Each structure stands twice: as structure tokens, then as C-alpha cells.
Amino acid sequence: MSINRIVRIACLAGIAGFSAGVSPAALAAEEVTLYTTREPGLIKPLLDAFTEKSGVQVKTLFVKDGLAERVATEGANSPADVLMTVDFGNLIDLVDKGVVQPVKSDALNAAIPANLRDADGRWFALSTRARVLYASKDRTDLKSFTYEDLADPKWKGKVCIRAGQHPYNTALIANMIAKDGAAKTEEWLKGVKANLARKAGGGDRDVARDILGGICDVGLANSYYVGLMRSGAGGPDQVKWGEAINVILPTFEKGGTHVNVSGAAVAKNAPHAANAVKLLEFLVSDEAQELYAKANFEYPVKAGVKADPIIASFGELKIDPAELTAIGKNRKAASELADKVGFDN
């Protein structure tokens, strides 16, 4: 094919685009690229709803590990617009790596409580999960509980929990340090370790399994796993695990219930930054927050949106007011304390 013919075809294509009233540049802009550590299946209903509502196509790349490092390595050439992850520690890591940009959005600020977003708009929580108490229906009759109670000697040999070095527990320890200081938190960790029925480890659903098996009577785990178990999403055995426990929303003695989050940020070099903000704003809309509740049994971050009935049955969630950013500063100290007391040994 001659050069003249190639040029003629390109020009005709351009004219066709303009004749439809939309420029090729505008067509290319109606997309957004999402890098996510969340399983794509969990968020697909949300992304599909966004595209249907906005007309913006979402390109999704699942990044299991090393999200911040990948985007940093890609640098100015990164196609990432939105970075989505679980655990506020990972969101803070994105900031520390310098791979996000600040966002000013009245919609985001109005929907998300101040303690669940970065003060400078560099990341935003989109849903929450509470660190709750699983308690045996047969062997306990608890109505309330504090995190501090877990170190009470009356629970000696009756506590199950996953590893202290797991981010879920490191975040809780960091929260306690923010409230009570390192010395008091160390004593608490020693007390919890002394009460363990088995070595700290496994997953959160294993806590429910071991309660059913009589290995322990109580344990800490995330709220959304109860929804996954009782709904049958994990199979018939897990239904039995979920039905064997009562769920209590524990609090700190001087505070509320510890939560962790899923959240997102706009990438520093986002090619479609406006669409990235548009996606984040959609994800805190009533429609999207209801989908979060249904898709993975998470608590909506926006006030007034109902949780799934299984999760709502636990009672009213009163989130601890400590800022996640402040808690995040204690993550290293929390990890060091877990090692110091030999929590996972």
C-alpha cells in the first residue's frame, strides 16, 4: 500500500470521527486504568455499574504483590490512573513511595469521615471491615467485650487468633499503641499470648473452625468473613463454622471498634486523572456503597447506607475515632512488639 493511500485512509478515519461529533482524542479519554490488589471478581459489579452510568471504560490490572513498587518503577510512563488496595497500611505505603497525587473533591470529603481518609486527599477509604470477636455459641454467653479483655487470665487456653505479624493484627496493635502507649500494649500482648489455645496463625475463618472444634472459645477476626461463611460462599463446612459463633463488636476501653479499610488513590502520573476522580466519587455514591455491602459483606464507608443483613445483625458499629494515618505511624513499632514478646512463636 502506498504512503499516499495510508495517509488518505487515516484522514478519512479522522473525518468520520469528527462527523460523528466526537474527536479521536475525546474517544481515547473516555477510559480509566485501575491497578488493584483486590480480586477482580469482587469489584467487577462496581466497575460495570460505573461504566454503565458514566460511559467510561475501566481497564483493570490485578497486581497481587508490590503495587507501590511496580508503579514507582513504571514512573512517568505508568498507565495507572487509580490504585486500589486493602489495608490502610498499603495506602500509606503508596504515599510514602510518592506514587499518588492529592485530590480535592467535595463529594469524597462529604461521603468519607475525616479519620478514614488522608488529610491531604492522597488516599480515601471506600469500605471498612471491623476486627470483631468470634465467641462460641455453646460455651460463652457474652454480650459485650473489650480488646483489653482478651488478655484477662480467665481466657487462659481459650483464645485463637492469626499471626501477630499479619497486617490485620499489626494494625490493631498499632491502634492500641496510639491509645495506650508501647509499654501498656506490650503487657497486653503478653497477656493475650498467655491465653492462646494454640499457636497464633492460620486465617480468620480458622478461628471459627477451631471454636466449633472445641479448641478455643473466643478469637479475633474480621467481620466480613462471617458473611462469607454464613452465606455459603465458602462451602457447606464453612456454613457450620459461621453458625457456631456469636459475633460481638468489641471496643477499646477508651474508644470504639477497630476497623481496617479497602481504599484507593489517584496515581501520580495518571493519564486520565479526571476520570480517576470520577471513579472514586462513584465508589462512594449510595449505589456503589450498597454494592460494596452485597459483594463482599463489607461495611459501607458512607453514613446512611445499610450493611448486608448478616453484618447488620452484629449491631451498631461505632468506629474508633483514631485517624488511620496516625495509627499507620505505629505499624513498625507494632511489628517489633509482636516479635519482642514472641507472639507467633
Q: What's the pLDDT at 257?
A: 98
pLDDT at 233: 92
For residue range 219-228, list pLDDT tens digits in order.
Answer: 999 999 999 9
What is the per-residue pLDDT across 158-207, written as a single tens digit (0 to 9) for each? 999 999 999 999 999 999 999 999 999 999 999 999 999 999 999 999 99
Render pLDDT for 250-303 as a digit per residue (tens, 0 to 9): 999 999 999 999 999 999 999 999 999 999 999 999 999 999 998 889 999 999
pLDDT of 28 above 70: no
pTM for the full predicted model? 0.87
Pairing of strands 218-222, 159-160: parallel
Report the relative pairing of strands 31-36 and 82-86 from DSSP bridges.
parallel
Average pLDDT over residues 216-244: 97
Q: How far is CA 190 from CA 185, 204, 224, 344, in A?
A: 9, 21, 28, 11
CA triple 237-309-283, angle to 5 deg: 105
pLDDT at 12 over 50: no
Helix axes 88-96, 167-180, angle to 10 degrees: 80
pLDDT score for 13 = 38
Could you report the per-residue pLDDT of 38-83, keeping only the tens digit for each? 988 889 999 999 999 999 999 999 999 999 999 999 999 999 999 9
| pLDDT at residue 241, rounded to an integer | 98
- Burial pattern 148-179, b for ≥16 Cβ within 10 A else e, equals bbbbeeebeebbbbbbbbbbbbbbbbbbbbbb
From residue 339, give the alpha-carbon distance in Å to each of 35, 88, 143, 223. 33, 21, 32, 26
Instruction: Specify the pLDDT at position 29.
Output: 53
- Domains along the chain? 3-128+261-312 (3.40.190.10), 130-258+318-340 (3.40.190.10)
What integer pLDDT is reported at residue 41 of this predicted model? 82
The continuous run of DSSP H or E covering 344 comes out as none
Instruction: For residue 168, say whether it is annotated as part of any ligand binding site.
Output: no
Confidence of residue 18 (pLDDT cuts 50, 70, 90): very low
Rounded to 5 degrees, φ, ψ at 132 are -110, 170
Confidence of residue 11 (pLDDT cuts 50, 70, 90): very low
Is 60 exceeded by the pLDDT of residue 343? yes
For the stretch 113-160, pLDDT in tens is 999 999 999 999 999 999 999 999 999 999 999 999 999 999 999 999
